[in-house]
Amino acid sequence: MRVISGQSKGRKLKSLNIQGLRPTSDRVKEALFNMISPFLNEEAKVADLFAGTGNVGIEFLSRGVKEVIFVDRDERCVQLIKDNLKNLDLLKRAKVYKMDVLRFLSSKYCPVFDIIFLDPPYKSGYATECIEQILKYNKILQSGLIIVESNVNFHFEDVRLSVFRERKYGDTKITIFTFGGSQIEDRGIPGEF
């Protein structure tokens, strides 16, 4: 597992052998960032929820976003994320919370984000619950993206957002949601709805 682009390109990240921990593969990460690169800028504020190793959030930082907030409820993952950030000298632009994601989304610690990345346990319904919380508490900008990594068979029910992109990689599916086509067209990206 490594950083694939930006200021920390090629640097390796630590991982742990924790049951249920499955870092996003380099292949999936590269495909994801190819899809969202027009949305990345030095003012973007990003959330990496169910952060695990911090792999995806660290990729955002390496590519120059302003800040990434990492949330995971496992103490070992929280320490691992901090270690990875420290090793790459990225701590100044990051915050790490040991907290349940749904609790975080309704807490005073949770700002409004430009991009939210969700990688919940594959066999859970957390993705849909999290999107409901994000919308309920207005935690994403109207021009923002919500990105979900899920099992290829996972289906979203009654999500009040538009699907910008959905791609499958083996047993992994990446779904990128927006509020609609207008923000996508403004960035010169043809929407797929």
Is the pLDDT higher at 158 or at 27?
Answer: 27
Strands (E) in the chain, as ranges, are: 45-49, 67-72, 94-98, 113-118, 140-151, 162-169, 172-178
Q: What is the pLDDT of residue 191?
A: 37
Tokens representing residue 28 in the block: 């999936």
Using CA atoms, how far apart are residues 114 and 146, in angstroms rounded to an integer?
Answer: 9
Helix (H) / strand (E) containing 55 = helix 55-62
Q: Which two tokens stand for residue 183?
A: 């923000």
Tens-place pLDDT, residues 121-152:
877 778 989 999 999 999 999 999 999 999 88
Query: Is the CATH code 3.40.50.150 the one for domain 26-186?
Result: yes
- Bridge partners for 151 per DSSP: 172
Which residues have C-beta within 8 Å of that of residue 87, sequence separation ≥ 6?
11, 14
Specify the pLDDT at position 181.
Answer: 52
Show me where the domains of the chain are located.
26-186
Q: What is the pLDDT of residue 182?
A: 41
| Overall average pLDDT of the 85-100 stretch | 97
31 vs 27, 46, 148, 158, CA distance in Å?
Answer: 6, 18, 13, 26
